Structure 1
Amino acid sequence: MKKILHIISSPRIAHSASRKLGNATLEKLMAKYPGSAVIVRDLAKDPAPHLDEVHIVSFFTPADSRTAEQLDAIRYSEEAVTELLNADIIVIEAPMYNFTITSTLKAYFDHIIRAGMTIKIRGGGLLPEGLLTNKEAYIVTSSGSVYSEGDLKDYDFVEPFIRAFLSVIGIKVAGVFRAEGQAVVGLEAALENGFDSIAAWE
């Protein structure tokens, strides 16, 4: 039995390829780990606020010294980090928008990278030390063209960015599933390719 955190970032609902592929990923995980609990954070329904000065000051203010305004500002981050800390597996749905992730997913990432909670700051110009080394993640993405290989590979700022971000906080990527090339082969064929990659994953 595992605790699975399912992060959704597509603003589309019924016609979202990434949501369909994400649900298929969850089904595979539930079959592998029967009885697992799933927590859903849908960033389209409950978007993370973009950081402002109050958020940033709150992050670096000791908990017992925060004002009422700072406590309110930091609430989203505290809840999101707690969900992440409690999870064993993270499924991140990230459709490609203009070569990269949605602004809502980027805002969510800004709220979960917290010194002393998900990272440990190191000096000397080194990357932070990730504190979440006991977790694994699956990246689910969708795109109009093919970015996993070929001429457009250098324009994929979704999978490489998410992989790099997760590595900074200590999380290993265990799998990447794509519904890509929708404008080339059609939505259904792109989804079938994604479903096939999930089915083949052990």
Structure 2
Amino acid sequence: MSAPEDCGKHGHKRRELFRRIFAGILIFLLIALITILLVWAILRPTKPKFVIQDATVYAFNVSSPNLLTSNFQVTISSRNPNDKIGIYYDRLDIYAVYRQQQITYRTEIPPTYQGHNEINIWSPFVYGTDVPVAPYNALLLSQDADTGFIPLMFKIDGRVRWKVGTFTTGKYHLHVTCPAQISFGPKQNGIPLGNNAFKYQLVRSCSVSV
């Protein structure tokens, strides 16, 4: 008669042990989470600051009926304003947009790590060949060309991680939008580089969301 009772006691002890282990894990995770949140609140991480420095236009041609070929080289700087937080740029893709429509392919910027208060500068080529443009945008593009100014946006999509000491967070979405108004025709104000290429000094802050 003692065997079933012993089995019941052993089963109860195992369940009690599992409950204690589970409770210990939960407490550990809770303490770790609270610690991370406190460190995060104390350090107050600030998103990186992006600036578009210049843009060189090598090609910007519309062919019939609504195909656009373009080739740019843009210089963009990124600064990490944090004193104690590093930033991993795991993936960055840059492309050009005209009136909410992407008009170039995506160009990948090599992954990099940005230390405290560091500045990184990239000069990628952004281009597209015979990219279809929406009919209404083709009409607006023609009108903008007549006025001499083309409102463009260079956008960056990517993934970043924050590094605090030895701790590294998970990946966050990064979205950057840089305005670049390009002039054409008689209002051309770029610096000629030869072969119909013009360089425009912009130095404009970009909007950043993480």
TM over 0.5: no
More strand by share: 2
Which structure has the bigger radius of gyration? Answer: 2
Q: TM-score, normalised by structure 1?
A: 0.24
TM-score for the superposition, normalised by structure 2: 0.23
